[in-house]
């Protein structure tokens, strides 16, 4: 599947408008007919990063934002890699979370709310590398159970 080109705007303020215009008005249907709803409030969670790796998202991420159009493409890509998501609070896999990987390391996460409805959780480039014997983010995801 061909993926859309990266999105480039002159100002940071244009990215949330793009997000709201495409995603927040009616949702996106996945290739397997799940309606994914998007909330305006998810923009900051998705397109900001923590500079200190302390869970406080304090810096706008152009790398994430320029891939805005990839979210829809990833949800509609039947060739995406799909895995069961991880619940970091309960420290276990959660079958209501679906993680899709496309373009080698672009991740889109949705939370199922029923058989054919879901909420968008986040999307990001999984580019954290291994260090000090730690497994990279993408490797961790790929060790998860496959989504069925």
Task: Domain ranges for the chain, please list them.
Answer: 14-142
DSSP state of 77: -
Q: What is the CA radius of gyration of the chain?
A: 15
What span, in angstroms and rounded, lies between the C-alpha atoms of 136 and 19?
A: 28
Q: Give the 3-state secondary structure of residue 9.
A: coil
What span, in angstroms and rounded, lies between the C-alpha atoms of 124 and 126?
A: 6
What span, in angstroms and rounded, lies between the C-alpha atoms of 31 and 97?
A: 16
List, for residues 2-60, the tens digit of each pLDDT value.
Answer: 999 999 999 999 999 999 999 999 999 999 999 999 999 999 999 998 887 777 888 99
The two three-digit tokens of residue 93, written as one number: 């896999």
**pTM for this structure?**
0.92
The two three-digit tokens of residue 86, written as one number: 């991880």
pLDDT tops 70 at residue 135: no
List, for residues 65-97, the tens digit of each pLDDT value.
Answer: 999 999 999 999 999 999 999 998 999 999 999
- In this predicted structure, which of 62-66, 86-90, 99-103, 127-131 has the lowest mean pLDDT? 127-131
With beta carbons less than 8 A apart as the criterion, state whether 81 and 99 touch. no
């Amino acid at each position: 599947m061909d993926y859309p080109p990266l999105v480039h705007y002159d100002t940071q303020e244009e990215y949330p408008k793009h997000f709201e215009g495409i995603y927040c008005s009616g949702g996106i249907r996945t290739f397997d007919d799940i309606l994914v709803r998007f909330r305006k409030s998810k923009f900051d969670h998705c397109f900001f990063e923590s500079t200190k790796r302390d869970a406080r998202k304090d810096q706008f991420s152009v790398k994430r934002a320029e891939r805005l159009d990839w979210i829809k493409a990833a949800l509609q890509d039947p060739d995406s890699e799909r895995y069961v998501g991880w619940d970091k609070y309960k420290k276990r896999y959660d079958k209501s979370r679906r993680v899709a990987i496309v373009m080698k390391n672009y991740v889109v996460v949705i939370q199922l709310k029923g058989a054919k409805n879901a909420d968008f959780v986040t999307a990001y480039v999984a580019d954290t590398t291994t260090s000090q014997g730690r497994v990279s983010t993408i490797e961790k995801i790929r060790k998860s159970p496959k989504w069925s």
